[in-house]
Each structure stands twice: as C-alpha cells, then as structure tokens.
A and B are shown apart, each in its own frame.
Chain A
Amino acid sequence: MAEAQPSQEPSQVAAFGAWLATPIIAIGELALFFFQSIAAIFRPPYRVGSLFAQLDFMAFGSLFVVGLTGLFTGMVLALQTIYAFGLFNAQSLVGATVELSLARELAPIFTSIVVVARVGSAVATELGTMRVTEQIDALETMAVDPYNYLVVPRVVAAAVATPLLTMLFNAVGLFGAYCVSVFLRDMAPGTFLNRLSALVEMKDLTDGLGKSAVIGFVVIMISAYRGYKASGGARGVGIATTQAVVGGLIAIFAIDYVYTAITLSSTASRGGGLGG
C-alpha cells in the first residue's frame, strides 16, 4: 500500500496536465487556423468564381428560410409588444420598439442561427468528408493551398451573405409586425410608424449589420475548422458537424454580447434616448 502512493501521484498530475492541455491545444489550433485562413484571404489566386458559388449557396439559398423566420419573428414581436405596451398605454412606441429590437438584436442573431444551422453544418460536413476521404491531402499534393481553395471562399462569402440576409430579415420582420399591428390589431398605420423615423437611427441598422458580418465570418470559420480537422470516417464527420453547430451557437451569443457592449458604449455617449 505504501509503495502504491508515489506511483499514483505522478499519474494524477499527468492526468490533470492532460485535462488542462486539451482545451489549450484546441484553442491554439483554432487560433492558428484563424490566422492561416485570414492570411490566405490576401494571398493570390483570388477565387472569385468559388466566392460567387458560395454566395449563391449561402445567401440566395437561404432567402426563403430567413424570410419566413423574419416574417414570423416580426409578427410575434408585434403581438407581444402591443400587449406589453398596452398595459401602460404606449402603443405609439410599438413600431419603433419592434424595429429597434429587430435591427439591433433579433435580425442579426436569428439570421446567424439560421446560417449556422443551414450553412455551418453543410460546410463542416463537406470539408469533413473531404478530409476523411483524403481529398484535402490530394489538394496539398497537387500544390493547391486548401486554406485558399476551401476556407477563404466560404468565410468571405459568410461575412457578405449574413448581413445581406439580416437586411432581408429586418425588412420582412417589420412588414410582418406592420401587418399584425394594422390589420389584426386595428392599430392606425400612423401610430405604428409615428416614432419609427425619430427613434430608429441608421447606426442601429449598421450596428446590427456589422455584428452579423462578424458573427457570420467567425461561425463559418469555426465550421470550416471542425470539418478541416475531422478524422475517423463517417462518425468523425458527424462529430465534427455537431461540434461546428454547437460551437457556432455559443460563438453567436458570446460575440453578440461583446459587440453590443462595445457599440452601445459609444452610443451612450451621444446622449440619445426615448425622449429624442
């Protein structure tokens, strides 16, 4: 018994070290992947054809689902806001509140969730399958940089497509909220639109679009990373896809908080408010 103790301690230390090292190595690999991918963006050849193919898949292919999500979000937001603001007779603020919520928060975040679910999973699966079937190794042996060929068109397309889809979400969401307020809740169109132009500024829209561009870029980078590092056949690709979606969702909310905190700190200094 007395001899067993010294042999156990080093193994426990080693186990703790391994437990500590795993996330550090993962973060280091992810950081390296980010760095290599960003460096590849500025390195020729510039694959414009691949970029447009990805834009077609990410933006055009997501129009319907983003539009539908935006429509229902705007409609339910109108119902909830009319109910809540009716409690203290402030229906004139419904239009502005809905649009502020959509522009600053709901449109970028819901659009990003759709992008992770539809595009992120596809990117992780496609790259993961290419990895486990040695297609990425084949690219390298043919002297083609996989970062330049596979990752760059996808992350750049995501950074462009996500804000475009967010704009669509905004527009359709506001349309849905207007229809519910005016046609189903008998609100006068002027009441709905009254404070909209006064309270919603261009910066509210651009903050939301900027946020969605950053989120789109990062979540598709995470998806590409998971696919690129996949191993172990079909099961490995499945795990990579799950990790891509889960990692993407966490990244959305983490970036949302940091980005909002930064942009709101500069907005507060303008001295704006409801009274404006």
Chain B
Amino acid sequence: MSTLAAQAKVDADRPMIDVKDLYKSFGGTPVLKGVSLRIMPGTTCVILGGSGSGKTVLMKHIIGLLKPDKGEVWVDGVEITRLRGRELQDERQKMGMVFQNAALFDSMTVGDNVAFPLREHSPFSEQEIAEKVKDKLGVVSLFDVEKKFPAELSGGMRKRVGLARAIIRDPKIVLYDEPTTGLDPLTTESVDEMIITARAKLGVTSVVISHDIGSAFHIADYIAVLHFGRIVEEGPPAKVRKSEEPHTKQFLSTWFGRT
C-alpha cells in the first residue's frame, strides 16, 4: 500500500509533458531555439505567441508528428522523439488533438468521424460504439447530429465534433491547435467553455496553442509565452499578466492595453 501511495505521489509530481531544450530548424531557418516546458497532469497550459513564433511546430513535436534536431519530449514518462512505427502509434493513443479547422473527414458523417478511432483501435461492438459516440457528443453539448455531414455544421460545431473525436478513447492529454481562431466572440466563448468543461469532466491535461490573449487568460492554469522559438515568460496567468519581460509586455499590451 505504501509503495502504491509513493508511486501515486511520484506520478502527481511528474509532469505529464516535459519538453527539454528543444531545437528545430527548417531549411536552415531555426524555428525552435531551446524550448523547455513542463506541463503538470490535469492542468490547462496555453502556449501563447504570435504568428511565426513556433507554436504549431512545438505542438507537432509533442504529438510526435515532427522529430527535433536536438532535445527531448517526455510524455507521461516516455521519451517520444526516439519512438517510431508501432511504439509511436501506441504512445499517440494517450493523446487527442483538436485541429484548427477540426480536420474532420468530410466523406464521413459526424457519427462515423467520432467513432473512427474506436473502429480502428478497439474491440467494441457497433452498439457500444454508438453509445460512446452519443456520450462524447453530449460532453461537447451536441445532440442528434450523428447523421449529419461536417459540411452541414457551423465552424464552432465542427470544433466540438473535433473535440468529441479527440476524447472518444479517453486520452490523458488533449492538444488544441488555435481553437478560437476565426470564430466570432460568442462562438469563441462557447469553445472556451468547451475546453474548461472537457477538463472538468474528464480530468485531462490540456495544451492549447493560441494567439488569442483573452481566451488564454480565461481558460489557462499556466501560460507560456513563445517568441521566435524561445519561451520568454511562463507561469500562472496572474504572474504572466504582470510580466515585465519586454516581448511579453508588448504582446499582452495589444489586448490589455485596449481593455
């Protein structure tokens, strides 16, 4: 029992995602220049930065879509940059990703989209899959949309379907790529609530990359500010809000300076 308790403490203290000194260049142009970041289990971390700061590249390293030139990415205690093939696929099953434009398969219905990861990787019957799909669509407040095609949904609804698909296998981590970009203020608000609700109901670790400062301060437990491949400021929102770091101050002034 004491061993289990000790292990539980180790797990709680261990970051869910631990990025160590990450470097990445494309065609000789450095994009990440020594990024280090620790994201604790069950928290929502927003990686905030402008266009070209390296946010998407950092996220693609976390999910193993890109290999770094140098550095390590530990996810739930496993160093994933050295994994390939089946091992990498197994590790990816701990994660779900919500893409900027949802990236739903437009040839499939909403129900088939959400069911897709289960049909690929689980032994559930079609009836069990249908129940799980309904359940996860309920988590994101969507009802009776299983038979619709993605083209019949609004942008916000598509993002919700994208989240339902990402969480259908109960992942430990959900990654959001620019979830509020291009959305109107009301839809942005509803997507923010969706992220908060998903974390509250499922206890997942959330990583959000965004340049939406208002949304970031609404949903984040922890904010890291990325500027041209380097994290220039990080901490809880209250700390970042008062940052004197010049790039952070300038970036945040575009929002807080006006409100």
CA distance A254 to B120 in the complex (A): 39
CA distance A242 to B105 in the complex (A): 24
| Any B CB within 8 A of the CB of A56 | no
| Any B CB within 8 A of the CB of A133 | yes
Do the beta carbons of A145 and B89 come within 8 Å of each other?
yes
| Any B CB within 8 A of the CB of A29 | no
Across the interface, which residues of A come within 8 angstroms of B93, CB to CB? 143
Q: What is the distance, in angstroms, from B163's C-beta to the closest C-beta of chain A?
A: 13
Do the beta carbons of A135 and B103 come within 8 Å of each other?
yes
Across the interface, which residues of A come within 8 angstroms of B120, CB to CB? 142-144
8 Å CB interface, A118-170 against B:
133-135, 137-138, 140-145
CA distance A135 to B100 in the complex (A): 11
Do the beta carbons of A142 and B65 come within 8 Å of each other?
no
CA distance A138 to B165 in the complex (A): 10
Across the interface, which residues of A come within 8 angstroms of B63, CB to CB? 141
Q: Mark A84-109, 1 if CB is under 8 A from B, else 0.
A: 00000000000000000000000000
Do the beta carbons of B105 and A137 come within 8 Å of each other?
no
Across the interface, which residues of B come within 8 angstroms of A143, CB to CB? 89-90, 92-93, 117, 120-121
Partner of A134, one of B89, B92, B99, B116: B99
8 Å CB interface, B93-128 against A:
93, 95-97, 99-101, 103-106, 116-117, 120-121
> Which of B's residues lie within 8 Å of A, judged by CB?
63, 65, 89-90, 92-93, 95-97, 99-101, 103-106, 116-117, 120-121, 165
Contacts A/B (CB < 8 Å), 20 sampled: A134-B99, A134-B103, A135-B103, A135-B104, A137-B99, A137-B103, A138-B105, A140-B92, A141-B92, A141-B96, A141-B97, A142-B92, A142-B117, A142-B120, A143-B93, A143-B117, A143-B120, A143-B121, A144-B89, A145-B89
